[in-house]
Structure 1
Amino acid sequence: MLRSGNVNKENTIDLIQNMNIDEKIGLDDIPEIDLYMDQVIQLFESKLSKLKRKEEDKVLTKTMINNYAKAKLLMSVKNKKYSKEHLILMSFIYNFKGAISINDIKLMLETIVNKYENGEEYDLRSLYERYLKVTTADSNELEDSVKKKVDKLSDISKEDDFEEKFLLVSSMISMSNMYRRIGEQLIDKFFGEESK
């Protein structure tokens, strides 16, 4: 059943702003001391719970963390404690896993994890800081893009409320799929086996 409410620029932008779409774990949110798994889960829940679609959804679980470790998405853990670098990688994984496969995430993180496993340094904090700046800029661009899309769809749908909503959702999913496919192609090109 279609819920009431017009599709217009203001309503859609309000919806996006209320979604906390640009919510991220900042470097300052991650303590310098190593954390136990329960503390890691608590940190992620406290910082990212606004991003959950449903209240009962989990941001991060013990099973997820163990699966990331088994898949070699994280460097080895020392004394059952996770460093700031582990948490940064988990944040990347959290943000990537809704769009790309665990295999693709592994390809992207492999260079970083391997360096740590081999005792080499990698400035993961600097990379993460730049990542946060890029995603903040993306969030700002999104609002402008959605405003333009709503205007276009209002013209196309001829004031039919159902059609406006259907086309807006379809367009968002279509854009998401296109960006995901582009991301997958870039992963294949830059991180795939043939590039090594």
Structure 2
Amino acid sequence: MENIKHIIDSLGLETNLTLDDIPNIDLYMDQVIQLFENKFNMSKRNQEDKIITKTMINNYAKGKLIFPIQNKKYSKEHLILMSLIYQLKGALSINDIKITLSGMNKKIINDEMDLASFYTSYLHLAGQNVTDFKEDIEERVRAVTEEITENNKEDAAYLEQVLMISSLVHMSNLYRKIAERLVDEMVVEKEGKRQK
């Protein structure tokens, strides 16, 4: 389990697309892809993985996950939404993401939202999440080590790794389930408003 700290350091968990990273001019699709690839390159599991592709961006637009683009260029608001989608798609379905962001897209179109301020709040919470995560991982390593008994000495390293993986996946599932229920509540609230 000594390699956990090295793994955490190699993941680039603090990496996010900041407002300063986003130019104040609209970008063409190839520029968007290059920006995301450069920013999130460290977070790839395999070097050949793609962070974002033309197909993904087109699907986000067709699926109405982002509000319509103008003149084949993507605004700062589009890039913020794509950054949120990038984070959300690790745990939520595309349909859940669409539901989650639909109200935000409408507010952006109607100029009823300060998206930069919202995104700053998100980045602040994301930073705090990374700090909390690192502390929690240390606690999980201790807990897993305590669970492996003297009887399993010869397989201790392997069993610790399997137990750690299982524990992390379980925790991830717990968070994902809560997020999905919150999405479901958005649907119920939206349908409830329609019935009135």
TM-score by length of 1: 0.91
Equivalent residue, structure 2, for 1:125: 116
Report the aligned-residue RMSD.
Answer: 1.2
C-alpha separation in 2, matches of 1:179 and 1:122: 27
- The question of 1:101 aligning with 2:93 is answered yes
**Residue identity opposite 2:158 in structure 1:** F
Q: Residues 108 and 115 of structure 2 are in contact (CA less than 8 Å); yes or no, is this contact kept in structure 1?
A: no
Q: Specify the code of the residue in structure 1 equivalent to 2:134.
A: E
Q: Which residue of 1 aligns with 2:49?
A: 57
2:169 aligned with 1:177? no
Instruction: Please say if 1:72 is aligned against 2:64.
Output: yes
- Post-superposition, which runs of at least 4 consecutive aligned residues in structure 1 deviate over 6 A? none
Alignment of 1:156-175 (within 5 A): 156-158=147-149, 159=153, 160-175=156-171
Q: Letter of the aligned partner of 1:132 in structure 2?
A: L
Find the aligned partners of 2:112 and 2:187 in 1 and give their Cα distance: 23
Cα distance in 2 for residues equivalent to 1:86 and 1:193: 27
Aligned equivalent of 1:140: 131
1:47 aligned to 39, 48, 52, which one?
Answer: 39
Following the alignment from structure 1 to structure 2, what is the Cα–Cα distance between the partners of residues 180 and 94? 15
Q: Would you say the 8 A contact 2:10–2:42 is kept in 1? A: no
The runs of 5 or more residues in structure 2 that have no matched partner are none
Alignment partner of 1:16 out of 2, 8, 31:
8
In 2: Cα distance, 1:12 partner to 1:58 partner: 25
| Offset, 1:193 | 3.4
Give unmatched runs, 5+ long, in structure 1. 1-6
Deviation at 1:115, TM superposition (A): 2.3
After TM superposition, give the deviation of residue 157 of structure 1 in Å: 1.3
Superposition deviation, residue 174 in structure 1:
0.6
Shift of 1:15: 1.4
Worse overlay, 37-46 or 180-189:
180-189
Structure 1 residue 114: deviation in Å? 1.4
- 1:146-189 per-position Cα deviation (integer Å, ceiling 9, x unaligned): 10110111111125111000000111111001100011111212
Q: So what's the TM-score if we normalise by structure 2?
A: 0.91
- Matching residue's letter, 1:69: A
Range that drifts further, 119-128 or 30-39: 119-128
The share of aligned pairs that are identical, in percent, is 47
Deviation at 1:98, TM superposition (A): 1.1
Cα deviations by residue, 1:26-81 (Å, 9 ceiling, x for unpaired): 00000010000000000000101111100000001000000000110111111100
The separation in 2 between residues aligned to 1:172 and 1:38, in whole angstroms, is 36
What displacement does 1:23 show? 1.0
| Equivalences, count | 186
**1:112 to partner: Cα distance:** 1.4
- Give yes or no for contact 2:148–2:160 (8 Å, CA) kept in 1: yes
